[in-house]
Amino acid sequence: MVLLLKNLSRIHAIIYSWVKLKIFKVNAPLFAEWNLTFRCPYQCLYCGANELKIKELETNEILERLSILYKTGIRWITFGGGEPLVKKDIMKILGYAKSLGFSVYLSSTGSGIEKYDGIEHVVDHINLSFDGPADVHDAIRGKGTYERLFHVVNFCKSKNISMSFLCVISKINIGAIDFVLERAKEMNIKVMFQPATLHLDSSLNINPIAPKREDYTQVIKKVIDAKRKGYPVRNSYAGLKYLSYWPEPHSIWCPAGRLTFTIEPDGSLLSCHLYETRRLYGKESNNLSKNNDHSFDKLLKNLKVPQGCATCWCAPIVELALIWQLNPSAIWNALWM
């Protein structure tokens, strides 16, 4: 609710974007995800980011692009990776984004967050991955990462940093979802659920811990029931219903390139990171935009919606898609979550 109240001042931007998209069929991005680096101290089993060796933009190049993003109309930016907190000059980057007027989000493990004095003033929200009890969480992310996660949680609480959990459902934690729900309720932290993808994130390789369809379906039913009972589930009912179809193709309005887009560590613009990473590193990309000059703002306006992709299993993108389709469940959920 606090985040909603902060965003009410931008209702005009939301309406303007919706009208351009839905009535005039013109791209009107409001949200950007910037993978500042693919480097990460963790080796999570469902992520292949460390496989990608990409030259990273220098700080001054990032700051220049942030200015263009804001002038172009972007108002929400999520810095991710890899682990964004290992990026050189991260506080300078976050501070500049905040000074421009962005709502600044971090998708992070929280690794090393304590050393950044004043981070609570330059980050609006941090999203932390949470997989289950210590043995399960550590099996997916590495020894000691469970203890580390809740050290970060306590730090964020002490600094009054808004935060939420993301739980990726895999064959390793398929039996630990009750624990995640109870812990989230105990700590009063909202948790969003989504399936592990069939391929590793940021990779062409098959994901070895993708869950079995029948087991996953039962877990989603459990999450829906928990939401009805008042557990702090961040997905909407409509979003959970859509995610229950995984991994079978199921069409959904795609915000990629229209409402959202991704910037890679080298400055490349992608309509959708998951879809186009596979095409790019499979030498099939038709929508990779290298941007080392003043044409950056033009590229933003000309991003194309991915073709041939009828599915999306990224829970935050699913929620955005449903909201922009005026789904009442998703809208109501956003108002109160």
Q: What is the pLDDT of residues 302-314, one digit of tens each?
A: 677 776 665 688 9
Average pLDDT over residues 117-137: 96
Q: Determine whether 179 is exposed, middle or buried from the number of CB atoms within 10 Å of its CB (0-12, 13-18, 19+).
A: middle
* Percent of the chain surpassing pLDDT 70: 82
What domains are there in the chain, each with its CATH number? 2-336 (3.20.20.70)
Predicted confidence (pLDDT) per residue in 66-109, tens digit: 999 999 899 999 999 889 999 999 999 999 999 999 999 999 99
The per-residue pLDDT for 25 is 85
Residue 7, pLDDT > 60, answer no
Conformational region of residue 128, where left means phi above 0, alpha means psi within -120 to 50, and beta covers everything else: beta
Give the chain's mean pLDDT.
Answer: 86
Helix axes 315-324, 11-22, angle to 10 degrees: 80
- State the SS3 of 294-336: CCHHHHHHCCCCCCCCCCCCCHHHHHHHHHHCCCHHHHHHHHH
Stretch among 11-15, 111-115, 141-145 having the lowest mean pLDDT? 11-15
Predicted confidence band at 8 (pLDDT cuts at 50, 70, 90)? Answer: low
pLDDT (mean) for 279-294: 45
Instruction: Please tell me the predicted confidence (pLDDT) of residue 307.
Output: 65
Query: Helix or strand or coil: residue 79?
Result: strand
CA geometry: angle 314, 24, 239, nearest 5 deg: 20
In this predicted structure, the answer to whether residue 337 has a pLDDT above a threshold of 70 is: no
Is the pLDDT at 298 greater than 80, yes or no? no
Total-model pTM: 0.88
CA 131 – CA 172 distance, rounded (Å): 9
Identity of the residue numbered 41:
P
Residues in contact with 46: Cβ distance below 8 Å, sequence separation at least 6, in sequence order: 140, 168, 170, 196, 197, 200, 201, 207, 209, 210
Across the range 222-247, mean pLDDT stands at 97
Task: Measure the CA–CA gap between 266 and 253, rounded to whole angstroms.
Answer: 28
pLDDT of 209 above 90: no
Q: What residues contact 199, with CB distance under 8 A and at least 6 apart?
A: 205, 206, 207, 278
In this prediction, residue 293 has a pLDDT band, given cuts at 50, 70 and 90, of very low
Least confident of 35-44, 169-178, 204-213, 237-246: 204-213
DSSP labels for 30-60?
A: -EEEEE--S--S---TTB-GGG---PPPPHH
More confident residue, 74 or 24: 74
25: CB partners within 8 A, 6+ apart: none
The owner of tokens 């887009």 is: 261
Residue 129 pairs in a beta bridge with: 166
Would you say residue 183 has pLDDT above 70? yes
Is residue 297 predicted with pLDDT exceeding 90?
no
Q: Return the structure tokens found at 94.
A: 């976050």
pLDDT of residue 309: 65
Cα four-point dihedral sign 286, 292, 294, 300: positive
Can you tell me the mean pLDDT for 210-225? Answer: 95
- Specify the higher pLDDT residue, 251 or 119: 119
Work out the percent of the chain whose per-residue pLDDT is above 90.
Answer: 59
Three-state secondary structure of 241-301: HHHCCCCCCCCCCCCECCCEEEECCCCCEECCHHHHHHHHHCCCCCCCECCCCCCHHHHHH
Average pLDDT on 239-246 reads 96
Determine the Cα–Cα distance for residues 139 and 287; give it in Å rounded to an integer.
36
What's 206's DSSP letter? B
Element housing 12 (H / E): helix 11-22
